[in-house]
């Protein structure tokens, strides 16, 4: 299976809507609130295209020619540090196939090549073993844990904090 990341295009509107409507966006700033409108998706994609000048990369994850997810490195809100934050989402049927691992590798490589980041961080909720594996396979190291950090549907989760330093 050929895996690549690439810029989002307006032609990807339907793929973005599918991703947005399929994946729980409660904890993901890269997706829109539901229900989405065609106008909102159009504007969001245009913002993704124009976001690179502020130190943010939004990329479509493509497997065998189909958009199956999104991966991004964002500059933390209100922060002008040398840290970027990683996020990724995949359509459920494409999880646990190595696609996210490769997409994260590609965007981290692009971010360290093109942006001024010295470190990339990621946050994952403790029960999310698949995301933990993606991070660890890409060299991210566990840096800390916040107990009882997130409540979802009445369940309290621990939050794991991961980081990856630029190789010198």
Specify the pTM.
Answer: 0.85
Please tell me the total number of residues recorded for the chain in this structure. 168
What token pair was written down for 158? 């621990």
Domains of the chain, start order = 3-165 (3.40.630.30)
pLDDT in tens, 101-137: 999 999 999 999 988 888 999 999 888 899 999 999 9
pLDDT in tens, 75-90: 776 556 678 899 998 9
Q: Burial code of 119-128, b = ≥16 C-beta within 10 A, e = fewer?
A: ebbbbbbeee
């Amino acid at each position: 299976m050929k895996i690549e990341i690439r810029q989002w295009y307006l032609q990807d509107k339907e793929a973005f809507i599918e991703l947005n409507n399929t994946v729980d966006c409660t904890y993901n700033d890269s997706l829109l609130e539901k229900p989405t409108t065609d106008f909102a998706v159009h504007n969001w994609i245009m913002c993704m295209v124009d976001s690179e000048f502020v130190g943010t990369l939004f990329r479509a994850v493509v497997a065998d020619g189909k958009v199956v997810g999104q991966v991004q490195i964002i500059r933390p809100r209100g922060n002008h540090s040398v840290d970027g934050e990683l996020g990724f989402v995949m359509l459920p049927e494409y999880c646990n196939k190595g696609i996210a691992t490769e997409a994260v590798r590609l965007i981290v490589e692009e971010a360290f090549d093109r942006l001024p980041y010295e470190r990339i961080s990621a946050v994952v909720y403790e029960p999310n073993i698949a995301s933990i594996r993606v991070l660890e396979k890409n060299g991210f190291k566990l840096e800390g844990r916040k107990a009882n950090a997130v409540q979802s549907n009445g369940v309290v989760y621990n939050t794991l904090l991961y980081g990856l330093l630029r190789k010198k």
